[in-house]
């Protein structure tokens, strides 16, 4: 190999290394959301009934009812699906996770529910307040990729 070709090869490797470092440090991968939550609040935003959280790794739900006000907190995961016609929609995935102020007290007042979403699927958590079959204050977290 001539000195000139060796020099060209080394320069090429330096450029390649710079590209790889750039990819590794790109903000898109460094700041991808891995944990999201949603609050069940009244429309005025003056009362926060509870929270539901989920994670992109493990996809479990943690629900917490904040007040002994007669209303419990329920939460359920939803996955983003594509209809044959091409439109997208959210659909419930897995069971409903329930917490009230007399439940989950060995977990700091929170109730954990084990869930699983298929790898690569987009999902979110739906939270709402419920009492004797009535529901209110439905809310949805930002989405995550499992
Ligand atoms: Ca409550
Ligand atoms: Ca509780």
Task: Kindly list the protein residues that place their beta carbon closer than 5 angstroms to ligand 1, a single-atom ion.
Answer: 65, 67, 69, 71
Instruction: Indicate which ligand has the atom closest to the C-alpha of 67.
Output: 1
HEC states along 52-72? EEEECCCCCEEEEECCCCCCE
Provide the 3-class DSSP secondary structure of residue 54: strand
Question: Ligand 2 mean position to 105 CA, how many Å?
Answer: 6
Q: What is the pLDDT of residues 20-74, one digit of tens each?
A: 544 454 444 556 789 999 999 999 999 999 999 999 999 999 999 999 999 999 9
pLDDT digits 0-9 by tens, 70-107 = 999 999 999 999 999 999 999 999 999 999 999 988 78
Q: Which CATH number fits domain 33-145: 2.60.40, 1.10.3470, 2.40.50, 2.170.150?
A: 2.60.40
Q: What is the pTM of this model?
A: 0.78
Q: Which residue has the higher pLDDT, 67 or 19?
A: 67
Question: Which ligand approaches the C-alpha of residue 70 most closely?
Answer: 1
How far does the centroid of ligand 1 lie from the alpha carbon of residue 77, in Å? 20
Residue 108 confidence (pLDDT): 87
Domain ranges for the chain, please list them.
1-31, 33-145
Ligand nearest to the CA of 103: 2
């Amino acid at each position: 190999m001539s000195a000139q070709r060796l020099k060209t090869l080394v320069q090429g490797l330096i450029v390649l290394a710079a590209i790889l470092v750039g990819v590794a440090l790109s903000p898109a991968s460094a700041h991808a959301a891995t944990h999201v939550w949603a609050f069940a609040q009244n429309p005025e935003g003056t009362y926060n009934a509870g929270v539901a959280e989920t994670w992109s790794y493990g996809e479990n739900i943690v629900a917490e009812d904040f007040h002994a006000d007669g209303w419990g907190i329920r939460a359920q995961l939803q996955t983003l699906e594509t209809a044959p016609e091409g439109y997208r929609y959210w659909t419930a995935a897995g069971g409903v996770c329930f917490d009230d102020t007399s439940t989950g007290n060995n977990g700091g007042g929170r109730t954990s529910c084990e869930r699983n979403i298929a790898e690569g699927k987009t999902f979110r958590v739906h939270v709402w307040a419920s009492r004797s079959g009535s529901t209110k204050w439905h809310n949805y977290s930002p989405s995550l990729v499992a």
